[in-house]
Chain A
Amino acid sequence: EVQLVQSGAEVKKPGESLKISCKGSGYIFTNYWIGWVRQMPGKGLEWMGIIYPGDSDTKYSPSFQGQVTISADKSIRTAYLQWSSLKASDTAMYYCARREGDASGFDYWGQGTLVSVSS
């Protein structure tokens, strides 16, 4: 069974760093892209970026380039999303999702990681 299991909810202060994770199982991890999607409270889905764990090829949305870093460790089948200095506006639910190729939809999603940033 394909599963993407994300790390738990985080409560942080502005300026702090954070790294959340997404662990894949039930499929060949290096053969699928892992994307990250933000959903701010009461708002829609926003594509942040995507990584191919097979060769670490990474693409970012212009809106998130330089604001976050996406990485993956294929040895432990885990993708990451990290911030070096959080802002209150980073408060949101973050989802990871899998897709096979450039033209494919995201067919499996993680359960989401809620990040709350407040002083």
Chain B
Amino acid sequence: QSVLTQPPSVSGAPGQRVTISCTGSSSNIGAGYDVHWYQQLPGTAPKLLIHGNNNRPSGVPDRFSGSKSGTSASLAITGLQAEDEADYYCQSYDSSLPGEVFGGGTKLTVL
């Protein structure tokens, strides 16, 4: 069981908006540690999608956005496209371990 909890799956039709939640605790997200998001397309290495809670690396479309509040964070994807079908992971730091932690991952299906 992961320290950061994500829904196993989400789905949406092309053009729609979906959100993926990442729920932590007072020793990670709630302690103020940054949340990062990764996209993993089938058969490929993960790719950094959002860093520092809400910052997009160069080249990442502005359809992707991140937010954080309290002990949770969210990734929002607007204008859903078929190419967005992938696994998404959140990552933060946990002071009780101590060390980096990943969420269990969320599989996004574009209907």
A interface residue numbers (CB < 8 A to B) = 35, 37, 44-47, 49-50, 59-62, 95, 97, 102-112
Contacts and interface: CB of A to CB of B under 8 A. Distances in A.
A60 B98 CA distance: 9
A103 B34 contact: yes
Contacts of B61: none
B100 A35 contact: yes
Contacts of B2: 44
- Interface residues of B: mostly helix, strand, loop or mixed? strand
Nearest to A96: B45
Given A109-B45, A109-B47, A111-B45, A103 B99 contact: no
Contacts of A102: 93
Interface in B48-92: 48, 50-52, 57, 87, 89, 91
B111 interface: no
B48 A105 contact: yes
B101 A47 contact: yes
29 contacts: A35-B100, A37-B46, A44-B102, A45-B102, A45-B105, A47-B91, A47-B99, A47-B101, A50-B100, A61-B99, A62-B97, A62-B99, A95-B45, A95-B46, A103-B52, A103-B93, A104-B52, A105-B34, A105-B36, A105-B37, A105-B50, A105-B52, A105-B91, A106-B36, A106-B48, A107-B51, A109-B45, A109-B46, A111-B45
A49 to B, nearest CB: 8
